Amino acid sequence: MSAPVLIGYARTSTADQKAGFQAQLRDLAGAGCTKVFSEELSSVAATRPQLRAALEWVREGDIMVVTKLDRLARSVADLITITGELRRKGVELRILAMNLDTGTPTGKLMMNLLASIAEFERELMLERQREGITKAKADGKYKGRQPTARAKAEMVMRLRAEGKSANDIVTALGISRASYFRIVAENGHEEAA
């Protein structure tokens, strides 16, 4: 069995962080990374092309290495998503600053704890959201999402009264045919589909 390939990933938020970026590259090389993917962009960027490339490049038995947790993930939930993808590919993760290696029992335990905390935080957030909605409903402040087609009911009936066809109205207002016929029926009219 051959030795695992260590693949590094380095990221900095801005071009102004050159020293920190160079330190990441130095530490990844010092850890034995033979290939390093790097990018200079914010972790909140919609896409991180080099991270995606690294995740696609790694193969079973490889180890992905980052210097710090915040260089890899935006949040614990993001970390869990990334580690899940690595796990499915048979790739371990090593975070140098935390001395965390998912290839060890302790590293797996730490990652599972992080996943449990993320799930717990999400459940708390959803519970607070449900409580807020219940309170808002009780106070008469919560109406829920308003159906978009129903908001156009008055225009549907006006255009219909002007003699416009169902197809013309649907196209003009950007609603579905089903919504059109529902609005017409709710207003006491019948029309063949």
Show pLDDT as tens, one digit a residue, over the chain (193 residues).
Answer: 677 899 999 998 766 577 888 999 999 999 999 999 999 886 566 688 999 999 999 999 999 999 998 888 877 778 888 988 999 999 999 999 988 899 899 988 988 887 788 778 878 888 998 898 888 888 888 777 666 777 788 889 999 999 999 899 988 888 888 888 888 888 877 776 5
DSSP state of 62: -
**The whole model's pTM is what?**
0.61
Predicted confidence at residue 1, as pLDDT, reads 60
- From CA 139, how far away is CA 114, in angstroms rounded? 37
In CATH, the architecture of 150-186 is Orthogonal Bundle (1.10)
pLDDT value at residue 44: 64
Q: Where are the domains of the chain?
A: 6-116, 150-186
What fold, for 6-116? Rossmann fold (3.40.50)
Query: Residue 57 has what pLDDT?
Result: 95
3-state secondary structure 125-184: HHHHHHHHHHHHHHCCCCCCCCCCCHHHHHHHHHHHHCCCCHHHHHHHHCCCHHHHHHHH
Please give the mean pLDDT across all residues of the chain: 86
Among candidate residues 38, 44, 105, the one with its CA nearest the CA of residue 65 = 38
Instruction: Locate 174 and state its tokens.
Output: 């950007």
Closest CA to 91 of 53, 60, 67, 52: 60
Residue from 13, 38, 43, 75 carrying the catalytic annotation: 13
| Amino acid type, 117 | I
- pLDDT score for 153: 86
Q: Is 13 a catalytic residue?
A: yes
Angle at 144 between CA 157 and CA 148, to 5 degrees: 30
Q: Which residues pair with 63 in a beta bridge?
A: 6, 92
- What integer pLDDT is reported at residue 177 of this predicted model? 87
